[in-house]
C-alpha cells in the first residue's frame, strides 16, 4: 500500500491514518475478535511514524472500533462491523448528501446579502458584535421538487470578493476551499419542525410538510468556525441512520 497522501478536505494526518486503518479492517475482512497487524507492520504498510500511528490507533480505540488486550495486541471490536447506510454523523455538503440519496441536486439562490451578525450567529462563529457576515439563502431541488431550504452564514472576512462576482449556486465548500477555508468537520443539532411560515408563503412551499432541521457549525481543519448553517430537509424524502453503542 502506498503512503498516505494529503486529502482534499485537509484532514490531519492522524485522522487520515485512522480512516485508512478502518478501511484496512474492511478490505481484509477482519471480523470481531480478529487481531490487527502489529505496529511494526502498520508503520511499514503506511510508511508513517510510530507516534502518528499510535495516535490513530488511540482514536480507533476511543471510537470503539478496536480494543486492546495488554500483552497480546489490538483486536477488532464488534462495533467495527456495524455499518449504516446513511450515517447522520457523516460530514458532507447538502449537495453530496442529496446525490448519495439518488437525487440530482439543483441549487436555486433566493437571496445573498451582507449584514451584521446576530447574537446567535456571533456565538456560533465566535465573532464580535461589529462583525459582518454573508447570508446565503437557497433552495435545493431535484427537478421541480424542493427538497431542502437552507440558510448559510459565513464571516465576511472569509470571502473578500464582491458578492455579485460569485456564483452562489455552486458548491459553498469549494468556494471556501479556494480561499483556504474549506470546512472538514462540524457540530450539529437535529430537530423535527415545520418550515417557518414566511418561508413557506414566499416560496409556495405550503405542501413541504414536516422538516428535519439540522443546525450546524462547520469548522476548518484548524478548528476555525467558518459556516453556520440551518438546513430544513423535507421529512418525507430523507432518512438518516446511526449506530448506538
Q: Residue 9 has what pLDDT? A: 40
Q: CB atoms < 10 A from the CB of 125, how many?
A: 21
114-171: pLDDT as tens digits: 999 999 999 999 999 999 999 999 999 999 999 999 999 999 999 999 999 999 998 9
Residues 160 and 65 in one domain: no
**What pTM, to 2 d.p., does this model score?**
0.70
Residues 147 and 69 in one domain: no
Residues 62 and 27 in one domain: yes
**Last residue of one domain, picked from the residues 34, 53, 81:** 81
Q: CB atoms < 10 A from the CB of 154, how many?
A: 23
1-35: pLDDT as tens digits: 445 444 344 446 888 888 888 888 888 888 889 99
**What is the rounded CA–CA span in Å between residue 70 and residue 40?**
17
- The DSSP 8-state label assigned to residue 56 in this structure reads H
Q: Residue 243 has what pLDDT? A: 63
CA distances from 54 to 57, 60, 116, 230 (A): 5, 10, 45, 37
Query: pLDDT-derived band of residue 85, with 50, 70 and 90 as boundaries?
Result: low
Q: What is the mean pLDDT of residues 183-199?
A: 94
Q: State the cell numbers at 229.
A: 448553517
**Last residue of one domain, picked from the residues 27, 56, 81:** 81
Q: Residue 172 has what pLDDT? A: 94
E strand segments, the chain? 66-69, 73-76, 105-116, 132-142, 145-155, 185-193, 211-219, 225-234
Whether 16 contacts 58, CB under 8 Å: no
Q: CB atoms < 10 A from the CB of 87, how many?
A: 13
Q: Residue 15 has what pLDDT? A: 81
Whether 225 contacts 126, CB under 8 Å: yes
Q: What percent of the chain lies above the pLDDT cut of 70?
A: 89
**What is the rounded CA–CA span in Å between residue 242 and residue 245?**
10
Query: pLDDT-derived band of residue 73, with 50, 70 and 90 as boundaries?
Result: very high
**Choice among 72-86, 111-125, 217-231 with the minimum mean pLDDT:** 72-86
CA angle 133, 235, 95 (to 5 degrees): 50
Residues 140 and 20 in one domain: no
**What is the rounded CA–CA span in Å between residue 77 and residue 95?**
33
Q: Residue 244 has what pLDDT? A: 64
Farthest-apart Cα atoms in the chain, separation: 65
Q: CB atoms < 10 A from the CB of 72, how many?
A: 8
Expressed as residue numbers, the domain containing 77 is 13-81
Residues 31 and 129 in one domain: no
Residues 75 and 101 in one domain: no
3 state SS of 28: coil
Query: pLDDT-derived band of residue 238, with 50, 70 and 90 as boundaries?
Result: confident
24-65: pLDDT as tens digits: 888 888 888 999 999 999 999 999 889 989 999 998 888 788
Q: What is the mean pLDDT of residues 198-219?
A: 95
Q: Is residue 241 part of a domain?
A: no
Residues 226 and 169 in one domain: yes
Amino acid at each position: 500500500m502506498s503512503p498516505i497522501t494529503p486529502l482534499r478536505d485537509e484532514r490531519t494526518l492522524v485522522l487520515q491514518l485512522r480512516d485508512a486503518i478502518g478501511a484496512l479492517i474492511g478490505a481484509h475482512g477482519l471480523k470481531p475478535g480478529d487481531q490487527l497487524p502489529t505496529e511494526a507492520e502498520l508503520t511499514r504498510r503506511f510508511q508513517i511514524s510510530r507516534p502518528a500511528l499510535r495516535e490513530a490507533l488511540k482514536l480507533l480505540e476511543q471510537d470503539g472500533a478496536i480494543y486492546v488486550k495488554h500483552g497480546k495486541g489490538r483486536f477488532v471490536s464488534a462495533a467495527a462491523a456495524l455499518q449504516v447506510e446513511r450515517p447522520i454523523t457523516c460530514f458532507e455538503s447538502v449537495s453530496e448528501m442529496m446525490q448519495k440519496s439518488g437525487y440530482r441536486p439543483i441549487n436555486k439562490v433566493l437571496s445573498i446579502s451582507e449584514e451584521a451578525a446576530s447574537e446567535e450567529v456571533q456565538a456560533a462563529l465566535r465573532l464580535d458584535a461589529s462583525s459582518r457576515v454573508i447570508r446565503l439563502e437557497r433552495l435545493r431541488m431535484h427537478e421541480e421538487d424542493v427538497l431542502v431550504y437552507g440558510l448559510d452564514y459565513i464571516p465576511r472576512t472569509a470571502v473578500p470578493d464582491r458578492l455579485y462576482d460569485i456564483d452562489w449556486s455552486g458548491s459553498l465548500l469549494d468556494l471556501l476551499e479556494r480561499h483556504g477555508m474549506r470546512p472538514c468537520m462540524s457540530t450539529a443539532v437535529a430537530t423535527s419542525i415545520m418550515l417557518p411560515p414566511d418561508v413557506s408563503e414566499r416560496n409556495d412551499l405550503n405542501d413541504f410538510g414536516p422538516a428535519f432541521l439540522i443546525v450546524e457549525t462547520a469548522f476548518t481543519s484548524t478548528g476555525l468556525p467558518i459556516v453556520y448553517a440551518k438546513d430544513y430537509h423535507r421529512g418525507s424524502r430523507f432518512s438518516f441512520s446511526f449506530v448506538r453503542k
